[in-house]
Structure 1
Amino acid sequence: MTAQHPVLPEVRQVKPGATLLLCRCGRSSQLPDCVSACPEQVELHVAREQFLLLCRCGQSQRLPYCDGSHSPPVMSLKARWLRFWRGL
């Protein structure tokens, strides 16, 4: 039996002048990008260089941005530390 790892967010560096079509419904097969003509897609025009933390699991309440929903809460600092170092 193999452990299923969560789908981690994408850190994307964007440059001024770029235009992104990002998914807000969570149904895109290429999250965080919207590959269809979905009415819920967001067109983002980048004004300054920055890093974006984009959701790839589709569970975020702030799509297309990651809110940490892919990672269930843990009760202790030790558990958080272990999850961080294992990449889970």
Structure 2
Amino acid sequence: MLNSLVVLKHQRQKLYVCLEDLDFVWDEKEVKEFDRMWIEGLSIQDISRAFDRDMDEVVLLVMDRKRTGYINDRPGGVYGRRMLEQ
């Protein structure tokens, strides 16, 4: 019965999990600190260094926070003030 309730978007035979090497989990305090850094204009490189995280993990958090409306577009985009200073 449970199988009849499961709806797959696509029929899958051999699974490939993308970005398996990345850490998608963030602590709430880290997320709040990220939001503050984003608003202050820090670049994703600077944020990545501050959290000692892969830059791709920071990009994923940017995407999540933007999609959920917690952060907005900003001058300089992911480069923040760095782009404006050049």
TM-score category (smaller protein):
under 0.3
Q: Max radius of gyration: which structure? A: 2
- TM-score, normalised via structure 2 length: 0.19
- TM-score, normalised via structure 1 length: 0.19
Determine which structure has the larger strand proportion and give its number: 1
